[in-house]
Structure 1
């Protein structure tokens, strides 16, 4: 059984989802893949300790604090490859960015392969069901392109600016979302 509630944020209304004990989803309103991995209807329930913890975490995040991901119990739904990519995302420090290619190199090492496709990594990053907390917004193209954020590029820019990322070498692509 899955439960949901909402959280009003500076980047719009956010839906939170849990399995009772663990967070399984954090999606911006209108986000691509919103709730895609939950195959049953979520029950609206606001008064759950796990939701209280996430709301307090998000309050601190949006206030410019640096809450630790480890403070929350996360259980993103996805295959092992995706979960491995999401684990790497959790290692990106607050206020810093990395590239899809850098994550692909880390995944290649993890999987004992010579190389890994940046596009495969991009697919996992794009399907991250716990946005903001698992910081997929901190991933950019090798050339500084702010590409590929399921919550929308305007939201990605706002989150990076909130974290104090140096935006001077980053840009919004004119069309397409190729890595």
Structure 2
């Protein structure tokens, strides 16, 4: 087993926690993370993007998103009090984060915030790999695992992870 290829991954809220963990680890940690996979991640409590507003998609929509943020943040659910380690889209510095791979449906609330997050990573020199799945809603790959879209997304993820294992390494601190 290699200790220079630690990868972290999660989906939905777990995708947001993946992004938060890599931010926290960059700032405070003592583990070298080589790659992150925040799949259709929950990143921004402010719900400012077009796809997060008035979204009535199946599985996850604007209302369920707002309720989830309120439950997660509890008494920190306020515009100025949310730390970047709880809502990674609030970060302003994306340098030094690990290479990132994700896929997301284009009709789900997290689509725009995920694409914005990826753009911030790219602007900071972080390699990114992404696939936007047309007509897909939140968690489409789990709800309809045998669909063509789910198979395409899983193939994309598998190919990217195979690439990551030969291209992305992060030495562990002494």
Report TM bin, short chain.
under 0.3
TM-score, normalization: structure 1? 0.27
TM-score, normalization: structure 2? 0.28
Q: Which has the higher helix share?
A: 2
